[in-house]
Amino acid sequence: MACESSAPDRRTVNPIRVVTDGAEDAGSRAADPTSVVVPASSASASFGTSSTEPGASSEPSTARWVDGGQPRVVYWGLQPGSPGADAGVVDDALARLEVMALGSRIMTHVSSANDDLAELARAPDLDWILTLPVEAFAAMSDAEVDAWVERAWQLGDVVRFLVLGQHLEADLAELPAAERELLVRRLEGALQRAKAHPSKPAGASVGVGFVALIDAPAALLTASDVVALSFSGIEPSGAVTPPDVAFLELRNTVNEWSGFRLPLVIQDLAYPSATGDADQRKFFAAINDWFSGPSAPDVWAVVVSSLNPPAAADCEHWADEWEVKRGAEARCSVGMRHPDGEPKPALNEVIELLAQFAQL
Write out the H or E segment, with its range, that includes residue 272: none
Model confidence at 72, pLDDT cuts 50, 70, 90, reads low
Higher pLDDT among residues 202 and 54, named by residue? 202
DSSP 14-53: -B-----TT---TT---S-TT--PPP-GGG-EEEPPPTTS
Range of the domain at 290: 60-357
For residue 183, what pLDDT is reported?
95
Per-residue pLDDT, 289: 95
Instruction: Count how many domains the chain has.
Output: 1
- What would the mean pLDDT of 184-201 be, rounded to a whole number? 97
- Other beta carbons within 10 angstroms of residue 153's beta carbon come to 18
In a domain, 105, yes or no: yes
Q: Which of 88-92, 150-154, 280-284 has the lowest mean pLDDT?
A: 88-92
Q: Has residue 19 been placed in a domain?
A: no
Asked if residues 335 and 80 have their Cβ atoms less than 8 Å apart, the reply is no
Domain assignment of residue 50, yes or no: no
pLDDT at 119: 77
Neighbours of 70 (CB within 10 A): 12
| pLDDT (0 to 100) of residue 40 | 31
Neighbours of 132 (CB within 10 A): 25
CATH of the domain at 258: 3.20.20.80
Residue 39, domain member (yes or no) = no
% residues pLDDT > 70 (the chain):
75
Residue 86 lies in a domain: yes
Task: Give me the mean pLDDT over the 228-248 stretch.
Answer: 93
Q: Is the pLDDT of residue 57 over 50?
A: no
* Residues with Cβ within 8 Å of residue 256, at least 6 apart in sequence: none
Structural domain contains residue 242: yes
Torsion angles phi and psi, residue 337, rounded to 5: -130, 155
14 within some domain: no
pLDDT at 228 > cutoff 80: yes
User: Which of 52-66, 90-104, 233-247, 311-325 has the least mean pLDDT?
Assistant: 52-66
Tell me the per-residue pLDDT of 1-31, one tens digit each, with 9 for 90 and over.
333 233 333 233 433 322 333 334 444 444 4
Q: 176 in a domain, yes or no?
A: yes
